[in-house]
Chains A and B, each alone.
Chain A
Amino acid sequence: MDMANEEARWVSQASEGDAAAFRRLVDAHASALFRVCARITGDKALAEDAVQEAFLNAYRHLRDFDGRAAFSTWLHRIAVNAALEQMRRRNRNETELPEGDEADDFFSASVEDAPGPDRHARSAEIRRDIETELKRMSTIERTAFVLRHHEGQSLEEISAVLSLSTNASKQAIFRAVRKLRAALEPVG
């Protein structure tokens, strides 16, 4: 039985209340959902909350999943919305993002994890600039960029997830790239 069929079976069993089947779905998709949620929120704790919420929502609506899209696509979409909801709950302005001085901040943590400054001083500096620019992006800009650049989603898919017109999604990506380019300017 191939993976897609096996997954379809798990979905069907989980929708009938089979805990083991739902656990398999969680194990199969948790890391990918964490990845996209962490990139959107820039915060590991928020990303974990978003993933948990996404699975809860998915469970509640399992019977609504009609199989027209892949289960991973359906779940991914729920997770993106859960990540956006987490950002809203932080009661932040769209232009503000989680501050980088918290210990569990994903972007900051990644700087600290970078190799030492002797060999990589320049790249660490650039990386810090990128993180600053990512934080300057609005939630919508960063989400659109993450979905296009890291998740490889089409503009059409991004527009559907974010409830934006295709043109608005394009503009969000353009603004995000412009901000990213600013990270190059001081050192370029």
Chain B
Amino acid sequence: MNTISDDDLILFHYRDGLDANRIVEIEDALFASADLRERYVAIEQALALADTLPTPVPDADFNARLWRQLEPHLFANKAPARRPSWRDSLHALHAWLSPPRLAFAAACVLALAVGIGFYAGRQSAPVPALAQSSADAAAVRVLDAYVAEHLRATEGVLLTASNSDSADLLNGNRELAASLVESNRLYALAATRAGNTALADFLRQLEPVLISLANPSQSAPVQPSEGLRDYLRSTDLLFQVRAAQARLDRGGERRT
């Protein structure tokens, strides 16, 4: 019985992902079996097809055009200073805070901004509008940054759950998913309060997935590995998580 699959033959072609013994086994089998040789030739032909396409080459003006576009952005402020970016600071803060506390902190910042607005609105004296709008903008920026980090962690959990076969990794992933459930709720609440219903709805859509990953034994719409992969493919959830994350990052950069 031939136990060499076409996938093995693809790895054999690239001499990658197979140990030395397996390579020798396949070499011997190819020598002994005309059938297997035929399958291997078919794979090599398919792979050779990819080489028939011309190599993409930029037009002659590409480098000059590229430089014209790059230059104004590069040296407007001389060399990049080696100071921590807001993102680095955020990572440091994130390392210190666990996800639920992080969400709580973001929700507090938002609540504080809402509180300032409410308090300011009750005063008879004219409110410094600039200060209030600045506080609101800061709160939204903080929320965006925290939610973007939360979505990055969620993306990692989804990827690990759908791609990993390691029991240890999946156990750790379950714990991480559990820790994200509560923060997800808080962020959804904070987004609602900030008037960002689209983000709030999206976060609520994530909640059952995180719950399923945190409690794999429960009957839930998502099960790890194959089932989750199918679910992610059919709902496009991973793409949406990345897109939401990118939107929040871009929003943060524009406001910074």
Q: Give the B-binding residues of A (Cβ under 8 A).
A: 15-17, 19, 22-23, 26-27, 30-31, 34-35, 38-39, 44, 47-48, 51-52, 55-56, 59-63, 85, 88-89, 91, 93-95, 106-107, 110, 113, 123, 126-127, 130-131, 145, 148-150, 154-155, 163-168, 170, 173-174, 177, 180-181, 183-184
Contacts and interface: CB of A to CB of B under 8 A. Distances in A.
Contacts of B55: 35
Contact of A17 (B49, B65, B67, B75): B75
A51 B62 CA distance: 10
> Binding site of B, secondary structure by majority: helix, strand, loop or mixed?
helix
> Binding site of A, secondary structure by majority: helix, strand, loop or mixed?
helix
B66 A55 contact: yes
B89 to A, nearest CB: 16
A168 B75 CA distance: 40
Interface string B34-75: 000000001101110110111111100011011101110111
B70 to A, nearest CB: 6
A127 B74 CA distance: 40
B62 A94 contact: no
A127 B159 CA distance: 34
A180 B56 contact: no
B94 interface: no
A26 B52 contact: no
Given A15-B79, A16-B79, A170-B17, A34 B52 contact: no
A106 to B, nearest CB: 6
Contacts of A165: 163-165
Contact of A184 (B46, B67, B70, B243): B46
B19 to A, nearest CB: 13
Contacts of A51: 66
Contacts of A88: 239, 242-243, 246
B17 A166 contact: yes
A31 to B, nearest CB: 6
B186 to A, nearest CB: 26
A171 to B, nearest CB: 8
Contacts of B53: 107, 110, 127, 130-131
29 contacts: A15-B79, A15-B80, A17-B75, A17-B78, A19-B71, A22-B74, A27-B63, A30-B58, A34-B57, A39-B56, A48-B65, A48-B66, A62-B80, A88-B239, A88-B242, A89-B246, A91-B243, A93-B236, A113-B54, A126-B52, A174-B7, A177-B10, A180-B46, A180-B49, A181-B42, A181-B43, A183-B46, A184-B46, A184-B49
